[in-house]
Amino acid sequence: MKYFKYPVFLGTLLILLTNCNTSYDEPRISLKGYEVESGFELDVIASEPLLKAPVQIDFDSKGRIWVAEMSGFMQDIAGTDEDLPSGAIKILEDKDEDGVMDHAKIFIDSLVMPRALTLVYGGLLYAEPPNLYFVEIDKNDRPQNRVLVDSLYALEGNPEHQPNGLELNIDNWIYNAGSHFRYQRKNGNWIKEPTTHRGQWGMSHDNLGRLYYNNNSTQLLGDYILPNRMIRNEFLQPQKGVNQKLSKDQRVYPLHAAKVNRGYVEGVLDKDSLLLEVTAACGPLVYRGGVFSEEYEQNVFVCIPEINAVKRNILTFYGDSITGQQAWHDKEFLASTDEGFRPVNLSTSPDGSMYVIDMHRGIIQHHAFLSPYLKKLSKQMQLDTLINFGRILRVGKKSIEKFSVPDLDKVSSNELVELLKHKNGYIRDQAQHRLVYKEEVSVVTELQQLAQNIEYPIAQMHALNTLNGIGTGLSFDLLLNIAEKSNVDVICHVLVLLEDYVTIENKEKARQLFRNLIKKESNGVDLYLATVLGKWSIVSKDDFNPIIKRLVERHENSQLITEALLSGMSLLNEDVLTDLNKTIIEDSLFQEQFSKNIKRKEENKKNSIYVSMGANEDSRTKGAKLYRKICAACHLVNGTGAEELAPPLVGSEHILPPEKLTMIILHGLKGPIEVAGKIYNLNHAMPGLNTNESLSDKDISSIISYVTNAFSKNPSGFSPEKVKELRELKSKNGSEYTLEELEEKLDSLSK
């Protein structure tokens, strides 16, 4: 019998290896202190020692779980050794078929902070910053023929903010959180294309194909419209339709007083020291599993790791917008008093359950953002010792039989078409993907029939996008026929696909279709019509400008419809505006925005997604690296100061205001100094960095951003422009400042 002990504050959880057959030993984890919504059951599917610090999973056709382990993240309070190759991608297997993983094999090891993976195109796509790789998988589960998909996927920066997700969507593109690029493989070649920048950690999609994401302080963000519909005009920077806050309510309902990074700030905690609003939201999942009861379908579940919980949101769809509302206002869907429970991602499994990826780490705040307050509490509560754990939990509906899962790599192409009607969105997505990347042209007829079967609208959307992905089987007349008899969601996809058939020959039928569709007075149909009319008006302005006019009049004050129209008008010029002015209301919102867009084009001011090659490193992370390289030798990594070498920075009254810290960093400091009531009279001076030509104003600004965050209760930024101004303010004799002289100088500056 083996025992794994938690620190005392968590209580004793025993991992009992009870199976008599040592080949199938399965760790048993107590879930005491975990509460899940009534009617659901919670099970541990995998745990240490099989895995450590999991951050994302995927399932293969054999029912195995593939796991990305980011074990290098925050192994101690200082975040040391995060750049060492300690991460891995593992395959977990349930060999005795009892529902609990009992074996693990390493697929790839010696990885530095691997953060995302997905099984696609018969291989594995995975991210190891800064690179995105694709590898084939041989019959013995070994990687082969590795391809570098993108060398700029996740540039240097805070691991909390680097791209991740790798979400395969219904449009056959792979999307990412923290990124403005999407990926697809065609004919053996990888394609990288700009898209809207979305979210921070984790991504999901609904049945239509709209994307959902979040950031630390906003638990649910999303798009009102299918990806890339609002950005086809390179000079348009849409404000509506994408990156929308779907739930205004950020309240959380913890079971206990969990330790959070800014708990010392007024208004963060209530009188009982319970967190009030989200501070580390991540890993959203639109549940499309098909086995929870109907009211749970297309709910969005969100990880709230700072309070050891998972939140449930109920979506309402309006065609041209979406709102989210928390299911309850006094509890969470899943919550725990186990401060090691750190849900960071969620997945729908092949059997329809929801899997919770629990990183199970004491400290999940990166050291570049870690406050002195949480550092102290983490030490006191021994959170920094909780590092060699990792869990995968399964949430299932009681008394509901799970789906039997077909081996998608062994079923026939005809069976894959039939699976596009499956209740489980995971199964549908995977069936579509296999038909597309294997280019199953033999089932085009079956796909065409399914695309017209109005009894299965979700399957219609999958069939349409499967045909589009295969590259054959769609036609203008087929799409017209489907649009005339299908529901609004299917019509939206048809309108997008019709853009491939914009010709003079097709304009009359298209005009008639659009005139019929606009009579539906559907917000959803109007939105997608707005995105396509610009392309058709180039073919025949006389036929399509009147339809544009009707949309503008119907949605006269709608920023969303205005931007949707402009997005479809990629070939902007004054002639188009002149023609539209004959029909569009003068001084309308559309006319105003059109004119602004023309000006942006004349000044060549493109949307930043068409200019930037990737995410920039955030200032605090860069500052942390520079601090460790330049300052830590004397002040130490934890800011406590080396004995007889440098005073502490933690709690020092001299690192704020930022002007004071900037002057010390630039020009140095000598003589006695009092810090927190103690006099430090060292026999040497701190040299200034003003003469270091390798350090830019931006570098100094980054150091200030990090130091004030890491060692004070009041993080403060200081712009590179202000740093530049203070470079010239040298001491009277040109050497290091004394504290008295420095304070006199700062007083004179403030007057």
Q: For residue range 249-274, what is the model confidence (pLDDT) as tens digits?
A: 999 999 999 999 888 888 899 999 99
Q: What pLDDT is recorded for position 551?
A: 93
Phi, psi of 36 (to 5 degrees): -120, 155
* Third-level CATH fold of 8-233+242-397: Neuraminidase (2.120.10)
Q: What pLDDT is recorded for position 670?
A: 85
- 8 A C-beta contact, residue 304 and residue 311: yes
Domain spans, the chain: 8-233+242-397, 413-603, 619-750
Q: What is the CATH number of domain 619-750?
A: 1.10.760.10
Min mean pLDDT across 113-127, 229-243, 513-527, 652-666 is at 652-666
DSSP 226-239: -TTTT-SSTT----
Residue 174 CB contacts under 8 Å (≥ 6 apart), including other chains: 118, 120, 125, 166, 167, 168, 182, 183, 184
Q: What pLDDT is recorded for position 584?
A: 67
Q: What is the mean pLDDT of residues 346-354?
A: 96
Cis peptide before 49 (omega within 30 of 0): yes
Torsion of CA 689, 692, 695, 701, to 10 degrees: 20
Residue 404 has pLDDT above 90, yes or no: no
Q: What pLDDT is recorded for position 15?
A: 33
Q: Which three-class secondary structure state does DSSP give residue 394?
A: strand
Q: What pLDDT is recorded for position 613?
A: 67
Q: Sorting pLDDT into bands at 50, 70 and 90, what band is 448? A: very high
Cis peptide before 657 (omega within 30 of 0): yes
Count of CA atoms in the C-beta half-sphere (13 A) of 187:
1
Q: Sorting pLDDT into bands at 50, 70 and 90, what band is 633? A: low
- 8 A C-beta contact, residue 567 and residue 531: yes
Residue 166 has pLDDT above 70, yes or no: yes
Q: What is the mean pLDDT of residues 710-732?
A: 86
Which residue would you say has higher pLDDT here, 27 or 214? 214
Cis peptide before 720 (omega within 30 of 0): no
Q: What is the mean pLDDT of residues 604-628?
A: 78
- 8 A C-beta contact, residue 507 and residue 543: yes
Q: What pLDDT is recorded for position 403?
A: 66
DSSP 188-202: TEEEEEEEEEE-SS-
- Percentage of the chain lying above the pLDDT 90 cut: 63
Q: What is the mean pLDDT of residues 54-74?
A: 96
Separation of CA 338 from chain center: 25
Q: For the whole model, what pTM was predicted?
A: 0.85
Q: What's the rounded Cα separation, in Å, for the pair 516 and 526?
A: 11
Q: What's the rounded Cα separation, in Å, for the pair 734 and 200?
A: 46
Q: What is the mean pLDDT of residues 421-440?
A: 97
Q: What pLDDT is recorded for position 691?
A: 72
Phi, psi of 619 (to 5 degrees): -65, -40
Q: Residue 16 carries which side chain, given as an amino acid letter? A: L
Of the ranges 35-44, 71-80, 572-581, the best mean pLDDT one: 35-44
Q: What pLDDT is recorded for position 12?
A: 31
Of the ranges 97-106, 304-313, 536-545, the best mean pLDDT one: 304-313
What's the mean pLDDT when you consider all of the chain?
Answer: 89
Q: What pLDDT is recorded for position 521?
A: 93
Of the ranges 234-248, 586-600, 666-680, the best mean pLDDT one: 234-248
Q: What pLDDT is recorded for position 748?
A: 85
- What are 86's two structure tokens? 């300690």
Query: Nearest to residue 55, comparing CAs of 182, 183, 166, 135?
Result: 166
Phi, psi of 671 (to 5 degrees): 85, 180
Q: Sorting pLDDT into bands at 50, 70 and 90, what band is 628? A: confident
Considering Cα of 102, then 108, then 113, then 114, what sign does the dihedral take?
negative
DSSP 399-427: T-PPPPPP-TTTS-HHHHHHHTT-S-HHH
Q: What's the rounded Cα separation, in Å, for the pair 91 and 103?
A: 8
Supply angle C-alpha 513, 519, 524, rounded to 5: 85
Residue 19 has pLDDT above 60, yes or no: no
Residue 720 has pLDDT above 50, yes or no: yes
- 8 A C-beta contact, residue 285 and residue 211: no
Min mean pLDDT across 12-16, 36-40, 110-114, 629-633 is at 12-16
Q: Which three-class secondary structure state does DSSP give residue 65?
A: strand
Instruction: Say yes or no: domain 413-603 is CATH 3.60.20.10.
Output: no
Q: What's the rounded Cα separation, in Å, for the pair 682 and 647?
A: 9
Residue 22 has pLDDT above 60, yes or no: no
Residue 249 CB neighbour total at 10 angstroms: 15
Q: Sorting pLDDT into bands at 50, 70 and 90, what band is 1? A: very low
Q: What is the mean pLDDT of residues 689-699?
A: 83
Q: Which three-class secondary structure state does DSSP give residue 183?
A: strand
- 8 A C-beta contact, residue 590 and residue 563: no
Q: What pLDDT is recorded for position 585?
A: 62
Q: Which three-class secondary structure state does DSSP give residue 548?
A: helix
Q: What pLDDT is recorded for position 669?
A: 87
Q: What pLDDT is recorded for position 13?
A: 34
Residue 344 CB contacts under 8 Å (≥ 6 apart), including other chains: 55, 201, 202, 282, 283, 303, 305, 357, 358, 359, 364
Min mean pLDDT across 66-75, 289-298, 688-697, 739-748 is at 688-697
Q: pLDDT tens digits, residue range 105-153?
A: 999 999 999 999 999 999 999 999 999 999 999 999 999 999 999 998 9
Residue 610 has pLDDT above 50, yes or no: yes
Q: pLDDT tens digits, residue range 660-693?
A: 898 889 898 888 888 888 888 876 678 788 877 7
Q: What's the rounded Cα separation, in Å, for the pair 371 and 748?
A: 32
Q: What pLDDT is recorded for position 265?
A: 80
N- to C-terminal Cα distance for the chain? 72
Q: What's the rounded Cα separation, in Å, for the pair 751 and 748?
A: 5
Q: What's the rounded Cα separation, in Å, for the pair 104 and 139?
A: 17
Q: What's the rounded Cα separation, in Å, for the pair 87 and 84?
A: 8
Q: pLDDT tens digits, residue range 490-508?
A: 999 999 999 999 999 999 9
- 8 A C-beta contact, residue 737 and residue 670: yes
